[in-house]
Amino acid sequence: MKILIIEDEEVLRKVLREKFEKEKFTVEVVSDGERALATAKQFAPDLVLLDIMLPKKNGLEVLAALREDPECERMPVIMLSNLGEDEKITRALALGAVDYLVKTQHPINEVVEKVKNYLLKPY
Partner 1 sequence: MIMSTWITTLAKKIVPAPPADVCPFSCDQCVSAQADEMRRKKEAAEAEKAQDEAILQSIGEGLIVTDKNGIIIKVNRACEEMLGWAGDEAIGKKITDMIPMENEFRKRMSFEERMVANVLTGAMFRSGDRTPGNTYYVRKDNTRFPVKILLTPFFLANRIVGSVAVFHDMTREHELERAKTDFISLASHQLRTPLAATKWALDLFLEETAGDSRYKARLDDLYMSNERLIELVNSLLDISRIEAGRAVNRISVNLADLVTRACDELRALAEKKGQTIQITLGKEVGTVLVDPLLFHEVVKNLIANSIDYGFPNTTISVGVERTPLEYRISVGNVGPMIPREEREMLFDKFYRGASAQQIKPTGSGLGLYIARTVVEANGGSIQLDASDEHGTRFSFTIPAEH
Query: In 3-state terms, what secondary structure has residue 62?
Result: helix
Binding mask 47-66 for partner 1 (x = CB under 8 A): ------x-------------
Give Cα separations from 70 to 4, 57, 65, 66 (angstroms). 18, 20, 10, 8
β-bridge mates for residue 78, sequence order: 49, 99
State yes or no: residue 91 binds partner 1 (CB under 8 A): no
Nearer to partner 1, 7 or 75 (CB): 7
**Interacting residue ranges for partner 1, rule: CB under 8 A:** 9, 11-12, 15-16, 18-19, 53, 82-86, 102-105, 107-109
